[in-house]
A = this chain, B = another copy of it.
Amino acid sequence: MAITIKDVAKMAKVAPSTVSRVIANNPRISEKTKQKVREAMEQLGYHPNFIARSLASQSTRAIGLIMPSSTDVVFQNPFFPTVLRGLSEGAHERHYALHMTTGKTDDEIYEGVIQMVQGGRVDGVILLYSKVEDKVLAFLKERDFPFVVIGKPFSDEEEITYVDNNNFRAAKEVTEYLIKLGHKQIAFVGGNLNLTVTVERLLGYEKALRDAGIELVNEYIVHEEFLKEGGQEAVRGLISLNKPPTALVVADDLMALGVLNTLDELGIKVPEDVSIISFNNVMLAEMSRPPLTSVDINIFDLGFESARSLIYRIENPREPVKRIIIPHKIVKRCSCSSPLTEEPKIVT
């Protein structure tokens, strides 16, 4: 078996409790004994047992990550690694580790969260999604367990700490941008309507149109999965309309890429025939042909700030809930121009 605190105590001729105090650098121990104990630790190659420490101190210095059920979708979207990097960095900063379990179905995930939380494996959790009527969120709230949501919670907004972009505003801005370019037939390609991010972006899109006095067309609003395939599906429907749109607001870069591909196959040119603007600004956006105009939502910061605020909440349980809005920025590339009625030109 490994070296324990008792071995160290014996070697330094002190009580185990004293060794524990030395580890915690408690001022109640004199410098002299501290020195003595540290030498013993050094000589024995002692490393404290995290599990035992967790049990005694009721804290694990680990934070749990909860993914949405459609794991394969999440993992495929470049959003995920970036937010994970942010999380990881934010956690590492305060010496916290990340703990992950996954599951195929919603029930498996729920079960995993229960085990993780009730089992005391983590000090807090981060929800990497926000959707309507989430059992997991309800459980965490009910249990009053520290957690942070990435994205805007669907309800009880004031009682939940979350980190999000202002997606409503961002969507409104991009739609206004298209309107300013002269577009009137603007479609919206969103993801699953159960996700609040989709709802927010849709609302922003609608608001912009309404403000500009442009009528909303039902057929112009479609919802697919946040994947390339989703974008492909969406386009086929839109293009076959009597009066196809001249511009598309697409809720995710990966979808936009699918859109781009399909349009290419159909011989429709971007941005000459159709303008496209999308969200997230992942690396792909820069590399597509044409490069996509996209809203940079600072994915890394989304993760980084989530980790930070969760840890803050863990260490200050009585602090009030917080809401953190990460800024966004439209990155203009080459996928948007004025519609054909005017002189087609690339806007930069």
Residues of A within 8 A of B (CB): 2, 47-55, 60, 62, 71-72, 75-76, 78, 80-82, 84-85, 88-89, 92, 97-104, 114-116, 118-121, 228, 257, 261, 283-284, 287-289
Pairwise interchain contact A88-B76, C-beta atoms closer than 8 A: no
Shortest distance in angstroms between A66's beta carbon and chain B's nearest beta carbon? 12
Q: Which residue of B lies closest to A287 (CB)?
A: B257
* Interchain CA distance A62-B100 in the complex, whole Å: 9
Shortest distance in angstroms between A163's beta carbon and chain B's nearest beta carbon? 19
Say which residue of B50, B85, B102, B118 sits within 8 Å of A121 (CB atoms): B50
Shortest distance in angstroms between A74's beta carbon and chain B's nearest beta carbon? 9
**Contact partners of A71 in chain B: CB under 8 A:** 85, 88
**Contact partners of A104 in chain B: CB under 8 A:** 92
**Contact partners of A115 in chain B: CB under 8 A:** 47, 50
Shortest distance in angstroms between A94's beta carbon and chain B's nearest beta carbon? 12
21 intermolecular pairs with C-beta atoms under 8 Å apart: A2-B118, A47-B114, A47-B119, A49-B55, A50-B115, A51-B54, A52-B55, A52-B120, A71-B85, A72-B85, A78-B78, A78-B81, A88-B102, A92-B101, A92-B103, A97-B100, A97-B101, A98-B100, A99-B99, A257-B287, A287-B288
Pairwise interchain contact A49-B119, C-beta atoms closer than 8 A: yes
Pairwise interchain contact B97-A98, C-beta atoms closer than 8 A: no
Shortest distance in angstroms between A311's beta carbon and chain B's nearest beta carbon? 14
Say which residue of B54, B102, B118, B288 sits within 8 Å of A92 (CB atoms): B102
Say which residue of B60, B80, B89, B288 sits within 8 Å of A102 (CB atoms): B89
Say which residue of B49, B75, B118 sits within 8 Å of A84 (CB atoms): B75
Given A49-B55, A51-B54, A92-B102, 4 more A-B residue pairs with CB atoms under 8 Å apart are A2-B120, A50-B119, A75-B84, A100-B100
Known A-B contacts A71-B88, A85-B71, A283-B228; the reply to A51 vs B119 at CB < 8 A is: yes
Known A-B contacts A99-B98, A115-B47; the reply to A76 vs B283 at CB < 8 A is: yes
Pairwise interchain contact A50-B120, C-beta atoms closer than 8 A: yes
* Interchain CA distance A47-B112 in the complex, whole Å: 12
**Contact partners of A228 in chain B: CB under 8 A:** 283, 287
**Contact partners of A116 in chain B: CB under 8 A:** 97
**Contact partners of A92 in chain B: CB under 8 A:** 101-104
